[in-house]
Amino acid sequence: MLHAISMHNHQRRILVIDDQASVREMVADLIREFELADKLELAQSIQQAQQALNDSDWDVIVTDMSLSDGNILDLIESMQQGYRFPPIVLMSGYLFGAASERASALGIKHVLTKPFHPADLLDCIQNIFEGK
């Protein structure tokens, strides 16, 4: 009998984008502790995120909406032509109204309102890997 993990034919790659070091590290620590990724990269700005997106393919992106150098939704919108975004977990302290509608229009299905419980983040990532 095959174990579920052996059915993965490639490494699970997660990109974490947040300009707050404490949040970035908390998310990274959770991903490491629960062994959710074979490759984990951290970015703290729109510029670093764009570089990481250009350099590699990702299975999941966990990102804050508002970064010190811009809004992640602007980056997603600008890159949508010719780039296939993986599922995105959007973390935000203020996602409602127009921003919420815009995130939905960009295909973002997983939204966590800050502050969130770490288990909620783990559930989001695991659901993405399970195709839910």
Going from the N-terminus, what domains does the chain have, and what CATH number goes with each?
A: 20-108+119-129 (3.40.50.2300)
**pLDDT 10s digit of each residue in the chain, 132 long?**
333 443 445 789 999 999 999 999 999 999 999 999 999 999 999 999 999 999 999 999 999 999 999 999 999 999 887 788 899 999 988 777 888 899 999 999 999 988 899 999 999 999 999 987
> Which one, of 97, 96, 79, lies nearest residue 88 by Cα?
79
Q: Alpha helix locations (H) across 1-132?
A: 21-33, 46-55, 72-79, 98-105, 118-129
In the numeric block, the tokens 């780039």 are attached to 83
Q: Report the predicted TM-score, pTM, of the whole model to 2 decimal places.
A: 0.89
